[in-house]
Amino acid sequence: MAKEVFMPKLSSTMEVGTLLQWLKEEGDPVEIGEPLFEIMTDKINIEVESYEEGVFLKKYYQVDDEIPVNAVIGYVGEENEEVPDEPPELADEEESSDAGESAEEAEQPAAEQPEGSATDKVRATPAARRVARENNIELSSVSGSGPKSRVHEQDVVEAINTNRATPLAEKIAADKGVDLSQVQGSGARGKIEKADVTGYAAAQTEPTEEPERVKLKGLRKAVADKMLESTQSIPHVTLTSEIDMSQVIDVRKSLLPVIEKQTGYRLSYTEIIIKATAHVLGNHPKVNASLVGDEIVMNKDVNIGLAVAVENGLIVPSIPDADKKGLAELTEASKTLGLKARDGKLSPAEMSGSTFSISNLGMYAVDGFTPIINPPETAILGVGRIVEKPVVVDGSVEVRPMMVLSLSFDHRAIDGAPAAAFLTELKDRLENPYGLLV
């Protein structure tokens, strides 16, 4: 008997997966554990392996399709075994109460179903639902051409193209030679009105280059949703402090060849800042805390999340027990995690568990900024560039390499004084970094 291939749910927040590529084609033999396809979730790219052996009989989706979790996307079974032409319909959440319905009841013709029962809900393929949703079309107004009046994608497309314009809009379009299929309607359910036709006709007299439009999806959408959630739900307060990096520069210069010989990686200022931050967090448990529901969780471990820019988004891998690692270990860990993040090869474990995050924009012409907290953490440190400035030292003006640190904290969990105390101790530690080596 043919076995379904499902879109897996790989995290508690995952709702859809984007199909990146098929690794097997219809008719190919499949062994247990062989990769079938690759998907992009809201966190990572991952190859999905087969749980069955046999022949890959059917694939229902194309590359770049966004597929709901738990949807059937294909079948594996015996050669020439029959499988459905369309993927089984994924029940909506409101239909979940019907899960106990018997197979016999589920297969009854529509005419035999009791009036007003849950089965009166519109039957439609996932593709049809997607097109209807994108075009603001009520599926109940579309006549389905499939079995039991199931609505297919083509049915929705035909409904969109039927009665799309008001009579006046059609007349103006005919007078001006406007192709209504090229006009975007602003009326109810996308209906084309007079203003839409006249506006389109006027725009054609002064042709302009269409801007590129990129759909907000995958990792970019996940980052956008998380940033919106953070800024809307967390009262951010940001403190800034200027750090004299003279001694940090000396420490890095001294240790650079030693650590590079030991690890194969070059020590950067980021690892020294991680080391100092992890050391100071041990004295300030409120800054290393997490806010979960109505509880402030005082974390015992110091796990530093390091923001890494990748294509179309931002990933924050975690360095566990950063306070217990030396600069060589931190250098190897941060460089390895950064490479894996940019290659899309981080595991879920490597992207979870951080108790405090650092976002370093020091490689750009940025002095200071307001970093956004990564919930459920209660604070995040923003790092700016190192730039030479005239400063007063012991009554004399000297040029020193200065760097701005920006600490954003959740005012629900941390008051200003504890946050200021943490930032003050971190400034002292970076300006006297040799204590980190003791």
Euclidean distance between CA atoms 159 and 309, whole angstroms: 43
CA distances from 32 to 22, 76, 78 (A): 16, 11, 14
Q: Which pLDDT does position 1 carry in this prediction?
A: 80
Active-site annotation holds for 415: yes
Range scoring the smallest mean pLDDT among 83-92, 190-199, 354-363, 404-413? 83-92
Burial of 146 (0-12, 13-18, 19+ CB in 10 A): middle
Location of structure tokens 């009036």: 115
Q: Which pLDDT does position 63 carry in this prediction?
A: 86
Active-site annotation holds for 64: no
> What tokens were used for 20?
């990146």
Q: Which pLDDT does position 116 carry in this prediction?
A: 38
Q: Which pLDDT does position 208 carry in this prediction?
A: 61
Q: Which residue has the higher pLDDT, 392 or 312?
A: 392
Q: Which pLDDT does position 188 carry in this prediction?
A: 64
DSSP structure class, residue 224: H
Q: Which pLDDT does position 161 carry in this prediction?
A: 63
Q: Which pLDDT does position 55 carry in this prediction?
A: 92
- Packing angle, helices 416-431 and 269-281, rounded to 10: 130
Segment 350-374 shows an average pLDDT of 93
CA dihedral sign of residues 328, 332, 333, 335: positive
pTM over 0.75: no
Instruction: Name the pLDDT band for 117 (thresholds 50, 70, 90).
Output: very low
Euclidean distance between CA atoms 43 and 144, whole angstroms: 36
| Three-point CA angle 262, 265, 271, nearest 5° | 100
Which of 159-168, 336-345, 394-403 tops mean pLDDT?
394-403
Range scoring the smallest mean pLDDT among 103-107, 132-136, 185-189, 217-221? 103-107
- Check if CATH label 3.40.190.10 holds for domain 1-88: no
Query: Considering the chain, what is the average pLDDT of its residues?
Result: 84
Residue 48: how many other CB atoms lie within 10 Å: 19
Q: Which pLDDT does position 180 carry in this prediction?
A: 78
Cα R_g (the chain), whole angstroms: 29
Domains of the chain: which residue ranges? 1-88, 163-205, 219-437
Is the confidence at residue 421, as pLDDT, over 90?
yes
Paired residues of 54 in beta bridges: 30
Q: Which pLDDT does position 162 carry in this prediction?
A: 62
Is the confidence at residue 415, as pLDDT, over 70?
yes
Q: 169-198, pLDDT tens digit by residue?
A: 888 888 888 887 788 878 765 778 888 888
Instruction: Name the pLDDT band for 216 (thresholds 50, 70, 90).
Output: confident
Instruction: Name the pLDDT band for 207 (thresholds 50, 70, 90).
Output: low
Instruction: Name the pLDDT band for 372 (thresholds 50, 70, 90).
Output: very high
Q: Which pLDDT does position 429 carry in this prediction?
A: 95
Which CATH code of 3.30.559.10, 3.30.465.10, 3.40.50.2300, 3.30.110.30 fits the domain covering 219-437? 3.30.559.10
Strand ranges in 245-378 using DSSP code E only, listed in sequence order: 290-292, 295-297, 304-306, 308-310, 313-315, 318-319, 356-360
Euclidean distance between CA atoms 23 and 21, whole angstroms: 6
Out of 92, 120, 415, 428, which one is annotated catalytic? Answer: 415
Euclidean distance between CA atoms 166 and 193, whole angstroms: 6
DSSP structure class, residue 78: S
Homologous superfamily in CATH for domain 163-205: E3-binding domain (4.10.320.10)
Q: 309-327, pLDDT tens digit by residue?
A: 887 778 899 999 999 999 9
Q: Which residue has the higher pLDDT, 331 or 186?
A: 331
Closest CA to 123 of 102, 98, 104: 98
Is the confidence at residue 371, as pLDDT, over 70?
yes
What one-character-per-residue DSSP string does 266-293 give? Answer: ---HHHHHHHHHHHHHTT-TTTT-EEET
Q: Which pLDDT does position 159 carry in this prediction?
A: 73
Euclidean distance between CA atoms 219 and 207, whole angstroms: 34
Is the confidence at residue 223, as pLDDT, over 70?
yes
Is the confidence at residue 246, as pLDDT, over 90?
yes
Location of structure tokens 């039991």: 148
Residues 6 or more apart whose Cβ sits within 8 Å of residue 125 = 86, 87, 89, 146, 150, 151, 152, 153
Closest CA to 250 of 386, 382, 362: 386
Q: Which pLDDT does position 206 carry in this prediction?
A: 60
Euclidean distance between CA atoms 285 and 296, whole angstroms: 11
Q: Which pLDDT does position 43 carry in this prediction?
A: 65
Out of 65, 98, 323, 411, which one is annotated catalytic? Answer: 411
Is the confidence at residue 92, as pLDDT, over 70?
no
